[in-house]
Every structure is written in structure tokens, then in C-alpha cells.
Amino acid sequence: MFSKLLIANRGEIACRVIRTARDLGIRTVAVFSDADAGAMHVALADEAVHIGPAPAAESYLDQQAILAAAARSGAVAIHPGYGFLSENAEFAEACAASGITFVGPPADAMRAMGAKDAAKRLMEAAGVPVVPGYHGEAQDPGLLGREAERIGYPVLIKAVAGGGGRGMRRVDSADEFQTALAAAQREAKAAFGDDRVLVERYLAKPRHIEIQIFADSHGNVVHLFERDCTIQRRHQKVIEEAPAPGMPPAMRERMGEAAVRAAKAVGYVGAGTVEFIADAEGGLSEDGFFFIEMNTRLQVEHPVTEMITGLDLVEWQLRVAAGDRLPLQQAALTITGHALEARLYAENPAGGKFLPSTGQLRQLRLPAGDVGHVRVDTGVRPGDAVSMFYDPMIAKLIVHGADRDQARYRLRAALEAVRVAGPVTNAGFLRAIVDHPAFAAADLDTGFIDRHLEALLPQSGAASDDKLLALAATGVLCARKTSARKQADASGDPYSPWDATSGWRLNGIGRETLGFLLAGTLREVGVIHAPGGMRLVLPSCEDAHGVQVSGSLDDGELVAEIDGQRLTAGFDVSEGRVTVMLAGDAFVIALHDPMQAAELEEGGTGDVTAPMPGKLVSVRIAKGDSVRKGDPLAVLEAMKMEHTLIAPADGVIAAVHYAQGDQVEEGVTIIAFEAAE
């Protein structure tokens, strides 16, 4: 086995690999960019080497810097994790040339599977079913259009070099084809430096089912069953599970065999995933699955396979890379129970936009130990920041159960235990998926999220407003008490009435009003500091005496007793806003301040601002143009995805402040807009 392993990655996967390496007695070396100097993966590793500035292209993708780090630290092997250099054949070769073992497949196998079109041709030849379509080399737009016509709409345009759903467009009719083609090519060029595409039939009720395979360098290949990754948003996986619900055993066997055949066809070694799309129209069937691509690395969702097989796939990767035989033969592999994984992201689901939400994780509590059968894979700790430079994933929550229902309940409990203050997360959205009756019934296809979006997005539930306000008010009062106590301690007179926060008066009862802005509306909570304790008069409270409350706040944990009901929530105050974290949701409520309120009311000029930092890839309008509500004005590329900025109303373009190719900061006005009267 290797004496020292360098992990050419960051975040949760770097931490995950380090843990197994440590279990095996292998010393570990982390690499880090400027942005990650204090990151968790750096702290976990035995050693760490700085490799460059924050942008990935200048650090985690810099092959020379990584090889130099390996040489400096004496690492004899490199684990690439997923993303970054994990599927880069050139890098695998550069490792070999430096006498370092690349923990992954041979460069040739990566190349053979690297381009989706060539891989499809190869798979067809190996007798693996592929989606009907065009995967030729010629790229003339006219020809592609005619091919789409031949295949029959709807079709899917895919970047040949694609990954992560980028450079992919579904097209429903011929008149949309050329526009969609141009967008897919542009996105592909930006993300992969390669704008070639393929066109294939878009299946009506597609389910994404993939097979985990493993091969050693002695010619043994096994499969570790399937994962169902059908719950996707914009072709990116959101929730994964194993085994696939409703999978007929005969189909599992056929798919497993096809995946093993695919691996053998390219002389594969190591961990790989053969992705298929299954046509779920009329249920899963033995002959209703098609190869879409092979990922020549460890997948984000590998833990669900580990949960049902009881194996450690990173351990297998390291053993295979060290030249060992596969630890088990096919006949010895079995499935136990059911596993689910949810990807917790720093992103805001509001309005179905899912904009990345970066910033410091002022509070972060992930389920661990206190919720049964949960595994949390993360690369961040409380106080760390989610930066705009990398994938905004906070953690993966993985659960195991005796059956799917049990796993589902456990995942819900795990999601409800999540508390994050700072960036907005998708925890509530994930919970809504897990709770949805169609998900419970395993009525799945890749259109699930779009179809049920309305029901899955956070609702501003008026019914719970009072509870929220009561918690917010109790939290504010507790926080105030804590800070007053600190001040009093510092002033040397702990009994000074001037530092007291009990609405202290010489005579009678103290009263005050706390103002909160909830969904843009001012809501007032009356506070009565009476001799018998504190009472709150909530907006819907009919009794002027209010309800009895008490509470304590310790390290962000608020325990409140409101009218005899005991509630526990996470609580955080920052920059005039409180965050109440309750059952996986985080409610951000602004504290009402008359000075701020005046400012808040001004807004709404209708100008088009950057919803996040990014690069303008196209500007379609000019000063003086008249536009209709919803017209596309410009395209912003951020986090490697394209976001179309649209006209907020009918009107005229008053000014265009940035040009194509410009980098813009979050919140800047890109287009000044005058709405029509």
C-alpha cells in the first residue's frame, strides 16, 4: 500500500478520501488555494501544500503545481476526487511520467469515454444499448437541424465534452433548434473549451439509473448494483438512492452485465460509473435502458452504494491502484436495505431560481449521532465560508434504512436537524421532495422537480408567523440580556440598573415594542416585562395581556417556552437581521429600524441588477430599445451556468452599463430600465 497520498481536491470529497487513507495507515497531503488556507480538508490532512490563487484554473486545475506539491511532500500517489482533474487523461499521464500513481483508470480508458459521441459509438460496437440519435463528427448547424428532424422532437442537444448538465438543451420544436444550439455551444465552449455537440431523442419519462463498476488490473470486473439519480434539477442530481425503486431483478442483471461489458471494452481499471437512462413509461423493463455516458472516477453519490453494500469504495480504489485484486467477486456482493442521499447546497430556492448563496456559515449544525443511521459527508465547519469560487455544496446527508420508507423518514429527520445561519440553503426544498406523496410512491422521472416545483418551494406560511415572531422576539430579548450581562461584567458593576434589560422602571410595569419585517410587512410584537415574568403580545393575540414567555439562548441554541409550549430553535443575529432556524428551515427576519425602513421603501426602480457575481456572455439590447416584459436582455454566466436576465416589465432601455465579456459584481446595475407608464 502507498506510504503517502496527495489528494488533488478540496471540500467534502477531499475530507472523505483523507478519512479512508488514514484508516489504512496512509499519510495524507492536502493541497489548497488562497481561499482554502483555513479549510477543513487542510486541517484534516497530515500535511498541506499551497498551490495557488483562489480561481480553480490557477490552483486545483494547475497540473504542474499539483505535481510539484507531490514531489515536495514525497507523495507516491494522487487521488483526484471528482471534478477538477479527475477525468483528465493528460494529468493521469503526467502523474505516470513523474513516477506517481494516479488513483483512477488508465488514460486511454478515460479518453475513450471522455467524449460522449465517441463513447456512444464504442458502446454500440460493444453491444451496449444507446439512445437513438446523432453522434457524428460533422457539426454543421444545418446538418444538426436535419438530424434533429430525423430523430423527431423533442430532442436533447448535449455537449460532447459535457458534464454536470452544462451545455445541454432540450428542444421541443424545429423553430427553437438553432437558438438552443447556439446557447448549448456557447455554454459548452465556456465550460469545456469544446463546442461540439450531439443530438439525441429526449425520452418522455426518463429515469436516470447508473451502475457502479469496479475493475482491477488483473482483468476482474464487477458491478456494485445501481443508483437511481432521477431527482434532478437542470440535469443535476439532487437526491440519489440505491437500489432503484421498482427495479426488476432481471433488469438489474442485464444492466449490470452491460456496464461490465462497457468497462471491459475500454480496458477499465478502478471505480467507474456507467450511466443509463431508462424509459419509465409503462414501468421499468429489461429492454428499456440506454447508455448515456461513463464517468471515469468516483461519483458524488457513491455513499449510497457504500451504505447498501457495506463497502468502502475509496478503500477499493486505493487497493486497486496499489495493484491488489478486487476484494470480492460478483457472487459475494449483496444489497442490504435502502439508502438515500440529499445534497445540501448553499443556494436559495426562492422563486425557483436557486441562486448560489455564498458567505460565512455563521451557524452550522449538521445531524450527527443524534439522528440514527445518518452519515454526513462535509468539507466545512461552523465559521467557514462558502466561496463563489467553488461548488456551493455544504454537505451530503446519507441515510440507510431497512427499506425505502424507513430511509425516507430518516432522511427527513436528518434534514430537519440541519441548522444554517448565513447562506440560504436548500434544506427545506430537499425535505419537501422527501415528503412529497409522488416521491413516497416512487413515481419518479427526471421531470419530477419541474412538475411539482410549486409544492416544493418554500411557502411564506402565514399560519406560522406568530410562532416565528414569538421565537424571534424571545431570541432578541435573550440575546440582549446576554450582551447586557457582558457589558455589565466589563463595567465592573454587575447590578447597575442602566445595564438591566428587563424593561426596568422605577415604578410599574415595563413595556416596549419590537418591530420585525416579515416578507416586507411590518409586524409588531409587544413586550411586557411584568413582575411575574415576561409576556408577549403577538399580532394575532386578542388578549392585551399577551402570553407568558421565557427563554434561554446558549451558543445559538434558543430554548423558548411560549404559552406553555417548549420550542427549540437555532437563533442568530447579524446586520440587523435575525435568523430563526426551525425544523430544517431558516427564516430571516429584518429587525425594524425606522432609519432603515425609509431606505427599504425606496427600492423597485426596475433596473436589472446582477443576481450574483459572474460574467456577461451576451448583451442583446442597446440603449433606447423598447422591450416587452419577459424579453431576454442579457445572459450572465455564473457558477458555470447561464442565467438569462429578463425585462421586468414593458419599457425602454435607459442605459447599458456593462458590455459582453465584462465581469460583474453581485448587485450592480447592469441595465437601467424605464418601465412604460
Yes or no: say if 250 and 464 are a contact pair by the CB < 8 Å rule.
no
Residue 133: all three cell numbers together: 440519435
Select the span of 197-205, 342-350, 385-393, 629-637 touching ligand ADP (CB under 6 A): 197-205
Select the span of 2-10, 91-99, 201-209, 575-583 touching ligand ADP (CB under 6 A): 201-209
- Could you tell me the smallest distance in angstroms from the CB atom of residue 472 to ligand ADP? 40
Q: Which is nearer to ligand ADP, 16 or 201 (CB)?
A: 201
Per CB under 6 A, 571 contacts ligand ADP: no
Select the span of 6-14, 163-171, 503-511, 578-586 touching ligand ADP (CB under 6 A): 163-171
Q: Is 166 a residue of the active site?
A: no
Partners of 293 in the β-ladder: 275
Per CB under 6 A, 299 contacts ligand ADP: no
Q: Single out the catalytic residue among 27, 169, 252, 297.
A: 297
Q: Identity (one letter) of the amino acid at 543?
A: D
Element spanning 374, H or E: strand 374-378
Per CB under 6 A, 161 contacts ligand ADP: no
- Could you tell me the smallest distance in angstroms from the CB atom of residue 133 to ligand ADP? 7
Which residues have C-beta within 8 Å of that of residue 381, sequence separation ≥ 6? 40, 361, 364
Interatomic CA distance for residues 233 and 221, integer angstroms: 32
- Could you tell me the smallest distance in angstroms from the CB atom of residue 430 to ligand ADP? 18
- Could you tell me the smallest distance in angstroms from the CB atom of residue 279 to ligand ADP? 9
CA max distance for the chain: 91
- Could you tell me the smallest distance in angstroms from the CB atom of residue 463 to ligand ADP? 36
- Could you tell me the smallest distance in angstroms from the CB atom of residue 147 to ligand ADP? 14
DSSP string of 564-594?
A: TEEEEEEEEEETTEEEEEETTEEEEEEEP-H
Residue 200: all three cell numbers together: 439525441
Identify residues 631-670 at the interface with ligand ADP (CB under 6 A): none
Question: Which contacts of 140-149 are long-range, i.e. CB under 8 A and separated by 24 or more positions?
Answer: 141/178, 141/181, 144/177, 144/181, 144/197, 144/199, 145/174, 145/177, 145/178, 145/181, 147/199, 148/174, 148/177, 148/199, 149/174
CA end-to-end distance (rounded Å), the chain = 73
Q: Which residue is nearest to ligand ADP (CB)?
A: 208
Q: Which is nearer to ligand ADP, 192 or 409 (CB)?
A: 192
Q: Which is nearer to ligand ADP, 115 or 292 (CB)?
A: 292
Per CB under 6 A, 202 contacts ligand ADP: yes
Per CB under 6 A, 289 contacts ligand ADP: no
Identify residues 206-225 at the interface with ligand ADP (CB under 6 A): 206, 208
Interatomic CA distance for residues 439 and 43, integer angstroms: 39
Per CB under 6 A, 165 contacts ligand ADP: yes
Q: Which is nearer to ligand ADP, 363 or 446 (CB)?
A: 446
Per CB under 6 A, 277 contacts ligand ADP: yes
Per CB under 6 A, 235 contacts ligand ADP: yes
Yes or no: say if 558 and 581 are a contact pair by the CB < 8 Å rule.
no
Yes or no: say if 19 and 11 are a contact pair by the CB < 8 Å rule.
no
Yes or no: say if 330 and 223 are a contact pair by the CB < 8 Å rule.
yes
- Could you tell me the smallest distance in angstroms from the CB atom of residue 529 to ligand ADP? 58
Per CB under 6 A, 446 contacts ligand ADP: yes
**In terms of DSSP bridges, do strands 155-159 and 197-201 run parallel, antiparallel, or are they unpaired?**
antiparallel
Tell me which DSSP letter residue 177 carries. Answer: H
Of 14, 203, 469, 589, the one binding ligand ADP (CB under 6 A) is 203
Q: Which residue from 109, 77, 4, 98 is spatially nearest to 47, judged by alpha carbons? A: 4
How many residues line the site for ligand ADP (CB under 6 A)? 22
Q: Which is nearer to ligand ADP, 206 or 526 (CB)?
A: 206
The vertex-636 CA angle with 425 and 350, nearest 5°, equals 30
Q: Which is nearer to ligand ADP, 177 or 516 (CB)?
A: 177
Select the span of 156-164, 217-225, 539-547, 595-603 touching ligand ADP (CB under 6 A): 156-164
Q: Which is nearer to ligand ADP, 615 or 640 (CB)?
A: 640
Q: Which residue from 213, 186, 211, 181 is spatially nearest to 198, judged by alpha carbons? A: 181
Select the span of 99-107, 159-167, 434-442, 459-467 touching ligand ADP (CB under 6 A): 159-167
Identify residues 452-481 at the interface with ligand ADP (CB under 6 A): none
Residue 520: all three cell numbers together: 416586507
Residue 176: all three cell numbers together: 427553437
Yes or no: say if 112 and 118 are a contact pair by the CB < 8 Å rule.
yes
SS3 355: strand
Yes or no: say if 118 and 175 are a contact pair by the CB < 8 Å rule.
no
Per CB under 6 A, 275 contacts ligand ADP: yes
Per-residue mark of binding to ligand ADP, 123-142 (x: CB under 6 A)? --------x-----------
Select the span of 65-73, 196-204, 325-333, 504-512 touching ligand ADP (CB under 6 A): 196-204
Per CB under 6 A, 288 contacts ligand ADP: no
Indicate left, alpha or beta for 417 from its phi (over 0: left) and psi (-120 to 50: alpha).
alpha
Q: Identity (one letter) of the amino acid at 470?
A: A
SS3 481: helix
Q: Which is nearer to ligand ADP, 41 or 207 (CB)?
A: 207
SS3 79: strand
- Could you tell me the smallest distance in angstroms from the CB atom of residue 325 to ligand ADP? 30
Yes or no: say if 591 and 576 are a contact pair by the CB < 8 Å rule.
yes
**Residues within the interface to ligand ADP (CB under 6 A):** 131, 156, 158, 162-166, 168, 200-203, 206, 208, 232, 235, 275, 277, 292-293, 446
Q: Which residues are catalytic?
A: 297
